[in-house]
Amino acid sequence: MTAAPGRDAAHPRLTLFATILASSLAFIDGSVVNVALPSIAQDFGAGATDLQWTINAYLLPLSALLLMGGAAGDHFGRRRLLIGGTALFTLASVCCALAPTLAMLLAARAAQGIGAALLMPNSLAILGNAFSGEARGRAIGTWAAVGAIAGAVGPPLGGWLIETAGWRAIFFLNVPVALGAMIVAWRYVEESAAGEQPLDWGGAILATAALGALTWALTLWSVHHVADQAVWSGLLGGLTLLGSFLALEHRRGERAMMPLALFGARAFVGLTLLTFLLYGALGGLLVMLPYLLIVAGGYSPLHAGMALLPLPAVLGVASRLMGMVTERVGPRWPLTIGPAVTGVGFIVLTRVDPAASYWSSVLPGMVVIALGMAGAVAPLTTAVLSSVDRQHTGTASGFNSAIARTGGMIATALAGSVIALAGADLVAAFQTAAWIGAALSAVSALAAFVSLAR
Could you report the average pLDDT of every consecutive run of 10 residues in the chain (454 residues)?
Answer: 53 88 83 85 84 83 79 84 95 95 94 91 81 73 72 80 91 92 92 70 84 83 79 92 92 81 81 93 90 91 87 76 76 91 96 92 94 85 73 67 80 79 89 96 94 78
> Residues for the chain: how many in total?
454
Measured CA to CA, the distance from residue 130 to residue 13 in angstroms comes to: 11
Q: Where are the alpha helices (DSSP H) in 33-166?
A: 37-44, 48-76, 78-98, 102-130, 133-165
The pLDDT score that the predictor gives to residue 6 is 47
What are the CA-CA distances from residue 179 to residues 87, 88, 129 (Å)?
8, 11, 24
> How does DSSP classify residue 199?
P
The pLDDT score that the predictor gives to residue 36 is 87
φ, ψ for residue 2 (rounded to 5)? Answer: -105, 130
Q: How many CA atoms lie within 13 A of 232 on its CB side?
A: 4
In 3D, which of 262, 281, 369, 384 has the Cα closest to residue 323? 384
The pLDDT score that the predictor gives to residue 440 is 96
**Residue 105 three-state SS:** helix
Q: Where are the alpha helices (DSSP H) in 254-309?
A: 266-295, 301-306
Measured CA to CA, the distance from residue 439 to residue 450 in angstroms comes to: 17
> How does DSSP classify residue 392?
G
Q: Kindly report the CA angle at 141 between 338 and 369, in degrees rounded to 5?
A: 30
Measured CA to CA, the distance from residue 303 to residue 15 in angstroms comes to: 35
Q: Which CATH architecture has domain 12-191+257-451?
A: Up-down Bundle (1.20)
In 3D, which of 278, 255, 273 has the Cα closest to residue 263? 273
Measured CA to CA, the distance from residue 356 to residue 360 in angstroms comes to: 8
Measured CA to CA, the distance from residue 201 to residue 225 in angstroms comes to: 36
Measured CA to CA, the distance from residue 33 to residue 93 in angstroms comes to: 12
In 3D, which of 136, 382, 400, 128 has the Cα closest to residue 262? 400
Whether the Cβ atoms of residue 369 and residue 286 lie closer than 8 Å to each other: no
Distance of CA 290 to the CA centre of its chain: 17
The pLDDT score that the predictor gives to residue 366 is 94
Q: Which residues pair with 191 in a beta bridge?
A: 2
**The residue type at 162:** I
Q: Which residues pair with 2 in a beta bridge?
A: 191
pTM above 0.85, yes or no: no
The pLDDT score that the predictor gives to residue 1 is 46
